[in-house]
Homo-oligomer: A and B are copies of this chain.
Amino acid sequence: MNSSLSRLKEIDREIQLLEHTTALLGWDQETYMPEKAIEERAQQHSLLSGIIHDKLTGKETSTLLSSLGIKDSAGAAESPLGETDRAFLRKFSRDFYRETKIPKGLVVDFSREASLSQAAWIEARKKSDFSVFAPHLEKILELTKDKAEKIGYAEHPYDALLDEYEPFATTSYVKSIFETLKPKLRNLVKEISRAGQVDDSFLKNKYSVDLQEKFGREILVDLGYEFDRGRLDVSAHPFTTTLGFNDIRITTRYREDSFKTGLFGIIHECGHGLYELGIDEKIAGTVLAQGTSLGIHESQSRTWENMIGLSLPFWKYYYPKLRKMFPTQLDGVTLEQFYRGINRSEPSLIRIDADEVTYSLHIILRFELELQMISGELKVRDLPEAWNSGMKELLGITPADDAEGVLQDVHWSFGAIGYFPTYALGNLYGAQFFQKLDRDLGGVVEIMERGDFKKILGWLRDNIHRYGSIYTAEELCMNATGEALNPDYFIDYLEKKYSGIYGLK
């Protein structure tokens, strides 16, 4: 048994090395690759994916899993191994069964349709014409449903999809959480809309990109990001990527006339980066050395971006430095005005520009539509109308066209259905962790006011980061906070914060 496990770990090691090499192909493509190299880069990607697939699903792997008594994706939970080895087998066998259940033909069809569909989506969005995208989305939906059937599920085909991004989460679980969340968020949006709006015009002054970057790098170091194990670069869309245990890179983009874009992009990705940087060395290089779910990952990025980076104590510490760097741009803007300005909340059409209060409503809309599409209740041709009426109902606004409506996100075009909910789960996990951290550290406000962010990082590492994927999201939440995910923490956090900003009662 030990020798089977050792051999399986060797195979896993090779898979991880190839995954990290693939991550380098991706990082380079988004940052430094010359324009015309794109076609061969796609071929390199696809060759490596094929090699990884063969290693993961090969006969040797299958024999080794059998010899370890593993016959389904539940792994060897009942075996007499230690906790880490059990977690390893659980994670590895889940990947194995997921990958083997989807027939190669479906993978090929999916990948071909996804690239056609993505191209169609780009064109459709440019023309703001949903009909260009519709037939492709229909194909993608069909293939996605087929995939869900092949993977299998207990209750709802959506379970099989969700599981890829948020392992072990179920549709009914997400549904019930979102049902608690929705009315409370709508209520808060309404209350804010009745209050007087805050001024954020100073954010649109010109902020030199070089200075933005300088400031961002200083903050990264303060927050605990390690530049000898990572990098900050520029890409069209910010991202974090893991190229190795000691190689976790982040990117951002800068806009001279939009101060928040660059800096909060940096802090958000820093949150993702710190999670991966904080994984325990004893699981380095294994399949366990990654965030346990996208929801937990997003909880880290959003904690650093929103609960820390958009907090008053954070800026109590940093605002004097920022004003020194941008004296004309921030001339006459007090700390409190700055704080209120960067937290301005109002219903808006584009998800990625949404504030903390409205953001999760954008997600709930997408989740509801995805469910209806997967169950067949909603036809693709009726999607734009459903989108617009959903926006009206949830946020009280209606897109002028499909480009700023149903066509705004890339996810569906390549079949990433089941992904969106993790963004909102991240907000919820983040708030729940943060209140426990606040309690455990005896007051996070003062810690932030004196710039002692390493102390916050210490708690996150001890309670979340170091475990990588040893625990599921649910286990992690229970271990760290003593209870299951509870959306009230997020609501409480928002109500308190925004009551202060908008003078709500």
Binding site for B on A (CB under 8 A): 14, 17-18, 20-21, 24-25, 28, 32-37, 39-41, 43-44, 47-48, 51, 227-231, 233, 243-247, 249, 285
Are A34 and B285 in contact, CB atoms less than 8 angstroms apart?
A: no
Contacts of A21 in B (CB 8 A): 21, 25, 44, 47-48
A11 to chain B, nearest CB (A): 12
* A25-B24, A37-B246, A47-B17 known; A32-B231 Cβ under 8 A: yes
Give A32's nearest chain B residue, CB to CB. B231
Beta-carbon contact of B20 and A40 below 8 Å: yes
How far, in angstroms, from A17 to B231 measured CA to CA in the complex? 26
Set of chain B residues within 8 Å of A35, measured between Cβ atoms? 228-229
Q: Show 20 A/B contacts (Cβ-Cβ < 8 Å), sorted by A.
A: A14-B47, A17-B44, A17-B47, A18-B47, A20-B40, A21-B25, A24-B24, A28-B28, A32-B32, A32-B231, A32-B233, A33-B247, A34-B228, A34-B229, A34-B230, A34-B231, A35-B228, A35-B229, A37-B229, A37-B244
Write out the residue numbers on chain B whose beta carbons fall within 8 Å of the beta carbon of A228: 34-36
Residues of the B chain whose Cβ atoms lie less than 8 Å from the Cβ of A41: 244, 247
Q: Contact at A40–B231, with CB atoms within 8 Å?
A: no
- Contacting A37 at CB < 8 Å: which of B14, B17, B39, B247? B247
Across-interface contacts of A227 in B (CB, < 8 A) = 34
Name the distance in Å between A23's Cβ and chain B's nearest Cβ: 10
Return A14 CB to nearest CB of chain B, in Å: 6
Q: Chain B residues near A51 (CB, 8 Å)?
A: 51
Partner of A246, one of B24, B40, B245: B40
Q: How far is the CB of A43 from chain B (nearest CB, A)?
A: 6
Task: State how many angstroms separate the Cβ of A20 from the closest Cβ of chain B.
Answer: 6
**In whole angstroms, what is the CA distance A246 to B247 when docked?**
27
Residues of B within 8 A of A17 (CB): 40, 43-44, 47
Q: State the CA gap A47–B230 with chains docked (Å).
A: 22
- Bound-state Cα–Cα, A227 to B36, Å: 9
Q: What's the minimum C-beta distance from A141 to chain B, rounded to whole angstroms?
A: 32
- Min CB distance, A438 to chain B, in Å? 32
Residue of chain B at shortest CB distance from A228: B35
A244 and B47 CA atoms in complex are apart in Å by 14
Residues on B with beta carbons closer than 8 Å to the beta carbon of A48: 21
CB-contact partner of A36 in B25, B44, B229, under 8 A: B229
- Chain B residue contacts of A47, Cβ below 8 A: 14, 17-18, 21
Contact of A243 with B37 at beta-carbon distance under 8 Å, contacts A14-B47, A32-B231, A51-B51 already known: yes
A247 proximity list for chain B (CB < 8 A):
33-34, 36-37, 40-41
CB pair B39–A246 under 8 Å, yes or no, is yes
Distance in Å from the Cβ of A60 to the closest Cβ of chain B?
14
List of B residues within 8 angstroms of A40 by Cβ: 17, 20, 244-247, 285
Closest to A39 in B: B246
Please measure, in the bound complex, the distance between the C-alpha atom of A285 and the C-alpha atom of B40, giving whole angstroms: 9
**Residues from chain B with Cβ under 8 Å of A243 in the complex:** 37
In the assembled complex, which residues on chain B have CB atoms less than 8 Å from the CB atom of A233?
32
**Shortest Cβ gap from A243 to chain B (Å):** 7
| CA A28 to CA B233, docked complex, whole Å | 13
- In the complex, A369 Cα to B147 Cα: how many Å? 65
Q: Which residue of B lies closest to A22 (CB)?
A: B21
Complex Cα distance A39/B48, Å?
Answer: 21
CB distance from A68 to the nearest CB of B (A): 24
List chain B residues, Cβ under 8 A from A37. Answer: 229, 243-244, 246-247
Bound Cα distance from A230 to B35, whole angstroms:
9
Give the chain B neighbours of A39 by CB distance below 8 A: 246
